[in-house]
Every structure is written in structure tokens, then in C-alpha cells.
A and B are shown apart, each in its own frame.
Chain A
Amino acid sequence: MSNSVKIIGFISARLNSPCGMPRSIKVMRAVAATGIAVAVAALIIAVSIGRGFEKTYTRALLDFNSHVIVMGTGEIENPDEVLASLRAFEFSSDDERRLAARYGWLAAWMSDARGLLERSSLIRFVPQRVLIQEAAIEKASRKGVIAATPFLYREALIVGGGEIRGVVVKGIDPATQKGVSGMSIALFDGSNDLGEALTSDTGADTTVIVGESLARELGLNKSHATLRMMVPGKDHKKSNLGREFVEARAVGTFASGMHDYDAQFMLMSLPLARKIFGAPRTEVTGIELKLDDPTRARLVAAAIEEELGPVYRAITWDELNGDLLSAVRLEKFVSALIMGIMLIVAALNIVATLVLMTIYRMHEIAILKALGLSDKKVGRIFIRGGMRVGVWGIAAGLVLGIGIAAAIGAFRLIPLEAEIYLVDSLPIDISGPICGMLALFCAAVIFMTSRLAAHKLATVLPAEGLAQAR
């Protein structure tokens, strides 16, 4: 540290010390620090809530929909071939560079940054069931696709518990589904074997796993597990059963974390779904893929489209749910923007404090200038004074913001209507790097306001200051 910096630190420590300061300045400094603390806390809480929603929705979407869905122009009739190609597919670093160049370096950089921030939680309070197997993802090699499973979508009406509901039946391959989905599935018999549960003979035409919310609405449970399913006319005529109504038995429930999915979907084994809906023996609607890094889904999807040819389209999870995700991101951005403006207003209090301080210290400023301290160095002394107040405010704001956000998350202080918000309590995701960045942003704002004020105030002529008797 140079002698010049040391002397500024030495003088600043004495002149900016609260000892001996008049009460009015102490109060003003406390008010300024409190304002900054409240603004920082509000910013952290707003950003943590925004991140909480984004992460909860993202995870729920990723759990239910997988990272990339490969679909054909119609149904895929040769899924085994496509699956074999996808399992052999490797997303090389050359592909990544080439596609990143095509999408632009900014997209690649944003993808990297987003990936980093996605994994940067300091404290997280989101429903446990939507936490996908992140550890497994992180351990996986960066080859792109790490799991693939075929699926079939069909629509049906179900009757149960005196209610009629339109549902989407998703035919899944129990053996490979688990590798792609992070959904929490609770089987009524307490077992973990999804394959066994979906193919067991229950005496009904088919066995199904229903969404948690749907099961609740229809009153389905272990003892009341039977429901009737109406297959659309054109489908039932093609089906092996040849009947419009099919008897199904629920063997468990799934929870994706998203009310919409949990209230509208039913899972069935792929062969049974084909049988009931009269689909050809090999036909599937598409193939779901799990990637090692979902934030790179667009690049991997582009590479897959190149690999499979023009008949196939790879749709990423964020394309599929673009409206919801952009609404959540917009809400996060706007709330951060508003809180950021609030912070700037709070930082302006520092200017008022500095003006008071320089009036109070006019005499000392004049003496220091008479002794040879330049305007610039006098300014730096008062910038340090402003930063001192600001740093206390930021530190208090960090503690307050993280504390309140953590309490909201841990004790579920703000319950939400799951039917409206899709989650049952306010989700919180506090990110260490984000808190660090916010603290740096606040420090930069306070530095700039202090600098503007201090340099202007430091230009007073020494003779004027000496004439002032305090």
C-alpha cells in the first residue's frame, strides 16, 4: 500500500469516526445506513423470490417434460432406431464451439452464466419433490444426452368420485423413464418399482399413476383406486378392447411440483397405452431426453436436429414453456429493477450525510489543505466516509435480507394458492454469488454518489474553511 493511500486511511479513520461527532450527524448517518440496509434487504428478498419461482417452475418443468423432446412430423413409427441414434449421440466440444458461434458468443456466455447461477444456491426453500437429481447430473460426463425414453400422449375423459375430468394420458417406458424424469412418484403399496406397479395385474383393463392434485380431486387413494376412462371414439374403435369405457386402477400418484401437470396428467405403461388407444405396436409421440447440462439444451437440440435430419425436431424445455418462463423472468427483472431504483434513492442519503459531514469538517478540510493535502485526496477521505456508512448499510442489509428470505422459506410464512401460483408456498432461492453481486452493485452505487458529492465539496478554498469557527 502506498504512503498516499495510508495517509488517507489514517486521516479518514479519525475524521469519519463517530466519536465526538454531533448527534445530528450520527442520526443522519444511522438513517442513511438504515435506508441502504432496507433497500439491500428488499433487493435480496425480491431477487430470492424471483429466483425461487423461476427455479421451482424450471425444475418442475424439467422433471415433467425432460430437457429436450424429439418429435417427428407426426407420430414416430421407428422409435428404436431414433433411440439408438440418440443414445450414441455425443455432443462434442467442437459441436459446442460451432453452434455457439452460430448462436453468437453472447448466447453461449449467457448460457454459461445462467448455468453457474442455476447451481449457485446458498439457501434454497423449494418443495423437495422438484429437486431433480442434481448430483447425478453433475457427476455425468459432458457428452450431451445422458438418458432417453419414448412416450405417447393421448387425451381421454375420466370418471371417478362423481367427477368427470379431461386428462392427458402419458404412456411411458417405466424402465427408462426414471433416467429422464425427476418426478416424485408415491406408489400406494409403498414400493419403488414403477415397472412392476404399471404392469401388474390388478383385474382392471389398465393401471395408471395419477397426478397428486387429480387424485385429490377425484378422491383416489389405496382403498378407492378405481376409475373409468372414456377413450375418444376414433381411438376406441381402433383399440384392442373395442370399448368406449375402460376400467383403470390407480396404483400411485406423482407430483411434479406444478399444479397444472398434477391436475391434468396420468401415467400409463407405453404398451398398455398403445393397446387402449389403438396405436401401432411401435408408435410413440416423441422421445424425451435428459442432458448433462439443461442450460445448454438449445445447443444440444440444434446438434440433434443436424444428426437426425429434417424429419425430426428437437424442442427444448424452455421453448416448450417459453410463456411461463418469460413471465417469471420478466417479473424477476422488474422487481429487481424497482428495488435497484429504491437502492439508488437510499444511496442519495449518503450525499446528504456527506454534505453535513463536510460542513461539520470544513475547518479540518481547510487545515489539511493548508498542510498540503490536495482537493482530490480530501475528496477521497470523504468518499471513505460515505463508503463506511454504505458498507455498514450493505452488511446489515445482507444479514436482514438473507435472514428474512430464509425465514419466509423455512417457515413457509407466505402460503399461496397452488391452483393459481402452481406452488403452495412462496419459494425462495438465495444465491451466494447473486448476494455478492448485489453487494458489489450497492457498493458501486454508493461509491459513485459519494464520489460526486465528496469531490464537489472538497473544492472549497482553505481560507473560507479557516474563517469558520466551529
Chain B
Amino acid sequence: MALLEAQGIWKCYADTAVPVEVLRGADFAIEEGESVAIYGASGAGKSTLLHILGGLDRPTRGRVLAAGMELGALDDMELARFRNREVGFVFQFYHLLPEFTALENSMLPALIAGLGRHEAERRGREVLDAMGLANRAMHRPAMLSGGEQQRVALARAAVMRPRAILADEPTGNLDRETGLKVWEYLLDLNRRLGIALVAVTHNRELGLELSRRLELCDGRLQPMKEVV
């Protein structure tokens, strides 16, 4: 059974003058510990697909199964629990909460899961250490560089040891050197902890290190044609 599986996903934005069909029957599956890169032109629907896989958005048609459990059938509490425990998100623009310190940002999922403050803080410090940010724990996002903010976002995604991390252009907002560093941390989570990784990226070079590469084209996913 696939860890995460999307079957015939359609997504149509009907609130515009002309309805836009972003996804047109996309199929996707990822196994435990696997890493998959998804490429595609801007506006192809990569982020939409990732949001639907993570339960942040609902498909117009089709279904998403997480270890055989259909996300569309879950109620608000169950879906929240899925997002908290089963998946971690990394976004292009980091999406840290500006009122919270790096440590607080990284321990938020643990607090939301109902862990005590001490345990959440222990886990938060542990993941921040792993990202090389031990000395930046008490800083707020505004005081951190883009790369540091993205590493805090990685720490936050990893703090609950989810089964999959869904990364939406994690290096898209960073310079090449910082991007590579962040990418390394992301791959490390996949290799060292066995967390499955779905990464949407424009950078073909980075994707080469992942076990599979797919391309989103005309609303459907297809294997990437390897350039020799």
C-alpha cells in the first residue's frame, strides 16, 4: 500500500471569469522512504497538487489516500491530526509565524499535538540543532536570513517525525549556495530518518538526487524524460 496516493485528481478554479482546470486527472503515489521530484512550468498546478496531497486543499474530483485512508472522508479533527502527525510542509516563502521565535516556530507542531511544553521544547531544540541553528533559537523570523528561515521551516516540518515531507520549491527563494545547503538538510531528513519526500522544484539539477522525477504537464503527471 502506498504511503500517499492520489487517484484521478481534478482541480478546477471556478471563481474566475473563465473556469481554470489546473489538474486534469493527475495520478500520483509515493512509497515509504521514497523521494520524488515534481517539475512543471509556472502555473502548471504543482503547488495545488502538493496542497491536495497534504490535505490543505480539496480536489474538485478524485481522491487522496494516506496509507489507504481517504482524506476526503476525514472530519476536521481527523484531517488536522493527519496534517500534524503524518506530513510536514516546507513552503517556498517559509511561512513562519513572525510573532514566534525560531524555537517556538519549530516546536509548534509538537505543542499542537498535545505534547507538554518541556517535551515540545526538547524536540524543537533537537531539530534546530540538527539544522545548525542552535544559536538562533531565540530569534524571531525577521532577525533571520532567508536560508535560516527555511531551515527553521525544515525543523518545524521534521519535529513530529512525519512519514512524508511535502516541499513546495524549498530553494526557490534562496541564492544557489544557500539553496544547496537547505536541499542537503532536506535530503538528510529523507536518507537519515527515512521520511518520504515530495519536492516541487524548478531546479532539474537538484532533482537528480531524488529517487524519481515526474513532470506535471496539461494537468497530469508523467515520468520525466531524462536528458542524456
Contacts and interface: CB of A to CB of B under 8 A. Distances in A.
Interface string A363-379: 11011111111111100
A466 B115 CA distance: 26
A461 B57 contact: yes
B114 A3 contact: yes
A20 B99 contact: yes
A10 interface: yes
Interface in A369-417: 369-377
A201 B177 CA distance: 117
Given A3-B114, A375-B80, A377-B80, 5 more contacts: A10-B111, A370-B54, A370-B95, A377-B112, A469-B93
B98 to A, nearest CB: 8
Interface string B22-44: 00000000000000000000000
Identify the 10 closest CB pairs spanning chains A and B, nearest first: A372-B84, A463-B57, A374-B80, A14-B99, A462-B56, A463-B51, A7-B111, A463-B56, A372-B83, A3-B114
A368 B100 CA distance: 12
B116 interface: yes
A372 B51 contact: no
Contact of B89 (A3, A7, A370, A374): A370
Interface in A215-274: none
Nearest to B96: A367
Question: Chain B interface residue count: which class?
Answer: 20 to 34
A3 B80 contact: no
B114 A4 contact: yes
Nearest to A375: B76
A3 B119 CA distance: 12
A6 interface: yes
Which of A3, A11, A366 has the most chain B CB atoms closer than 10 A to its own CB?
A: A3
A466 B95 contact: yes
30 contacts: A2-B114, A3-B115, A3-B117, A4-B114, A14-B100, A367-B97, A368-B108, A369-B56, A369-B80, A370-B83, A370-B89, A371-B83, A371-B89, A371-B112, A372-B82, A372-B85, A372-B112, A372-B113, A373-B84, A374-B76, A375-B76, A376-B76, A377-B80, A461-B58, A462-B56, A463-B48, A463-B56, A463-B57, A466-B56, A466-B95
B95 A3 contact: no
B109 interface: yes
A14 B104 CA distance: 11
A371 B114 contact: no
Interface string A1-39: 011101100110011010010000000000000000000
